[in-house]
Structure 1
Amino acid sequence: MLSAADDYPIHQIAEPVRYAGTSDRNFYDRYYFNLHASSGELFMVMGMGQYPNLAVQDAFCLLRRGTEHRVVRASRELGDRMDTTVGPFRIEVLEPLHRLRFVLEPNEWGLAADLIWEGAIPAFEEPRHHIRLHGRVLFDTMRLAQTGRWSGILHVDGEDIPVTPDRWKGTRDRSWGVRPVGEPEPAGIRADQPLFFNLWNYAPMQFDDHSILYIVQEWADGQRVMDEAVRVWADPAREPEWLGRPEHELSIRPGTREVDSAVISFPQAPGGAFDVRVTHLLEAHIGIGTGYGFDADWRHGMWQGPLVVQGVSLDVEADRDRFFGIVDCVARFESSTGEVGYGLHEYLFLGPHEKYGFTSFMDVP
């Protein structure tokens, strides 16, 4: 199983790079990107992952425009881990931690792209994410995060949309480690317990000369699995500034688990407390059709065959009953200190959460 990566001095164990340091089936290594025009006109979310112990590599591109939810997705057998192509998808690392290229070749589903990502801040190492339940490690992951700008071209149904860095922005992450992937496993003793967590809330906010990276993960009673709030400056000579324990007030749309808006607070920030008001511009249910969710036919790392390429097209109004789970939103961020920025507001409510009035797996208040 020698591959191109084996000619680089990057080995961590006494095996070819193709083999992970653990035989856990859930080991993964993924790219995530999103793209928006600092507005609600469209939102695109893209990803690619490798699952070495499942011998699968897959990719997706999700376009939300108007009420349309369109996904192009592909999966193949994993071979050389340096080969970041899956059917019409390709990711190229042009300048590590700074410039990458995302390509979706023209296909029968009318969505294609050739885009260059350039980081607006230095790539930032987020806290290690570790959850053990009844002895089993469910999560043990690392992730880097970065805000940035896009340039290139986006093709939608024959329309060429120029993408220029003056207004086309986004966020990306690279994560790797162990988390549930592939075909569902027997739940066993964990059947009556939440598989992941009850609240996940994540917001990388991009302002003119800095970005704020915010994470909160909580169990039902509000106890935190992890949290972080840090200001990362565009100038790499300036050290990141930790903002203390963050707090959240999420405005829930009546009769749903969907968030309309939010206020994220930083009461312990150096130099004085401040708030950021979050206004959603356009949302994308990234768990539907992409592999992030509970679709029986397509999950990250699920074996689909030597090569499969598919398209999914839904309407968020006509198919409303299908849309639940994790949500990514293009958002406007207005700080009480006067700055205005744009970025991602991501959230998931799964199971009870006392603060927001949820009492069972999928009830609504």
Structure 2
Amino acid sequence: MPRDVLEHSPLSGMDEYPIHQTTDPIRFLNTTDPRAFERYWFSAQSDDGELFFVCGIGLYPNLNRCDGYAIVVQDNRHTAIRAARTLGVDRSELTVGPMTARMIEPFTEWRLNCAPNDFGLEYDLAWRDTKRAVFGRQGPTEIPGQMNARLIHDWCGYETFGTIEGAISVHGKKFTLTPSRFRGSRDHHWGVRDGVGGAGHMLQTSSSSHLGQWVEFGDWSIWWHRVLYNLGDARQGAGKITPIDHKVRFDPVTRHLVEAVITNRLDNGEIREVHYEQIGNQIAYLRCGMYTGPDGKGTPAENYHHGSIAGDFIGGETFDLSDPAVRTEIAGFEDHLVRATCNGESAIGILECRNPVIYEMCEKGLPGFSFL
């Protein structure tokens, strides 16, 4: 073990820096809620939609866990790798299994790596921000109809878009990523959210779904309920965007999203309608990355959730997305790669939702949701 673990615990090397916010060592949180988390998420997609990449790494200090995953979708093959380890005292070490995320310069540049492994997925990527990251709060959210109940969500963080450069290899096939052809989104969130730790810590099952928009146009972008501006833009901070109407079309077999028209109101009162069309079966099924789906479902094979895996673990698989039965089996929390069009401008982006919950919301005619 490193010397600071053996001799200085519960201190870590981070405690040498003047960054303390409480009277505890850095490794301790200001909450004892087991669902506390801190997570990084990255995506990358080619401008023609051929290759779709998603990865993430999360820390769960009150569960003493760290886990991460990566997913590549190409030519109807969905390849995932996931790993977990004991967190220990050093929360600055963003390595789990063969995967590593390393910050080069704050709000500017990251390196993402995955070493050779048994699941056919490797990468070596340089990420560079293009939009201004702005702090924002997402919670708290309480259980409807209950008083003095534990919060479902209470979290915050920031988001941005960027370009990606480097290489990804999937089952021996190598793809070269260049900044002119590959773009993506990343976020860094922390706080408390449901789904962390699995069934023993879960407060509710999902009866509704968000329909998140992550798309970067030339001089503006949508990340959920925020408008992000280019680095150096004269407009300060970030703008606000409110989706006011969602018209959605679904696959008649799986009842999963394939197209949407979302009408958004900007904070200046302007209305912008964005048309999203799914690109083939380019969908990242995030249950394979340990996100929780409807009815409390975790990973398709093991039913793992973020923060739920004890000890060291490396796993993964490849699915054939040309089979509707496979897509139905692994669905529950999805990032759909889409072509987005607004005011004559087109871009590659992501729509995020829970399938088939989003279909059920349109079927019920919930306010703001209907069939396209």
Q: TM-score range by the shorter chain?
A: 0.7 to 0.9
1:255-334 aligned within 5 A? 255-267=253-265, 270=268, 272-281=270-279, 282-293=281-292, 294-295=297-298, 296-305=302-311, 307-316=312-321, 317=323, 319-334=326-341
- The reply on whether 1:40 has 2:49 as its aligned counterpart is yes
Q: Distance in 2 between matches of 1:349 and 1:320?
A: 10
Contact map agreement 2:85 2:96 (CA 8 A) in 1: yes
1:189-227, CA deviations, whole angstroms, 9 ceiling, x for partnerless residues? x6xxx53551211112111222222x3xxxxxxxxxxxx
Asked whether the 8 Å contact 1:56–1:301 carries over to 2, the reply is yes
| Mapped partners of 1:8, 1:331: distance in 2 | 43
> Which residue type is aligned with residue 316 of structure 2?
G
| Superposition deviation, residue 136 in structure 1 | 1.3
8 Å Cα contact 1:200/1:348 also seen in 2? yes
**What stretches of structure 1 move > 4 A for 4+ residues in a row?**
349-355
> Which residue of 120, 124, 130 maps to 1:120?
130
Corresponding residue of 1:93: 103
Q: Secondary structure at the match of 1:288?
A: helix
RMSD: 2.4
Q: For the structure 1 residues 321 and 50, does the alpha-carbon distance in structure 2 shift closer, same or farther, using more than 3 Å as the test?
A: same
Deviation at 1:351, TM superposition (A): 5.3
Matched residues, percent identical? Answer: 29
User: Could you report, residue by residue, the CA deviation over 1:338-363 in whole angstroms, capped at 9, with x for unpaired residues?
Assistant: 2222221111257588751159xxxx
Deviation at 1:9, TM superposition (A): 2.1
Indicate if the aligned counterparts of 1:182 and 1:301 stay in contact, CA closer than 8 A: yes
Q: Map Cα deviations across residues 149-174 of structure 1 (whole Å, 9 max, x no partner).
A: 10111122223221100011111111
Q: TM-score, normalised by structure 2?
A: 0.84
| Conservation of the 8 A alpha-carbon contact between 1:229 and 1:246 | no
Superposition pairs for residues 220-259 of structure 1, below 5 Å? 228-239=225-236, 240-244=238-242, 246-259=244-257
| Residues 327 and 283 of structure 1, relative CA distance in 2, 3 Å threshold | farther
- CA 1:157 to 1:354, structure 2 compared with 1: closer, same or farther past 3 Å? closer
- Per the alignment, residue 220 of structure 1 pairs with none
Q: 1:245 to 1:66 in 2, by over 3 A?
A: closer
* Structure 1 gap ranges (5+): 216-227, 360-364
Which amino acid in the other structure matches residue 291 of structure 1? M
Distance 1:186 1:118, change over 3 A: closer
Could you tell which deviates more after superposition, 31-40 or 312-321?
312-321
Tell me the SS of whatever aligns to 1:137: coil
Greater shift, 345-354 or 174-183, is seen at 345-354
Question: Following the alignment from structure 1 to structure 2, what is the Cα–Cα distance between the partners of residues 354 and 77?
Answer: 38
Higher helix proportion: 2
User: Structure 2, unaligned stretches of length 5 or more?
Assistant: 1-9, 366-370
Q: 1:353 to 1:73 in 2, by over 3 A?
A: closer
Which residue of the partner structure matches residue 353 of structure 2? 347
Structure-2 change in CA distance of 1:286 and 1:349 (3 Å): closer
CA distance in 2, matches of 1:208, 1:186: 42
1:109-160 Cα distance to aligned partner (Å, 9 max, x none): 2210010111110113344222112311111111311111101111222232
1:161 aligns with 2:175: yes
**1:173 paired residue among 187, 210, 215:** 187
Could you tell me which of 53, 65, 72 is aligned with 2:74? 65
User: What amino acid is aligned across from residue 210 of structure 1 in structure 2?
Assistant: W
User: Aligned AA for 1:259?
Assistant: L
Q: How has the CA–CA distance of structure 1 residues 14 and 35 changed in structure 2, closer, same or farther, with 3 Å as cutoff?
A: same
Letter of the 1:287 partner, please give it.
L
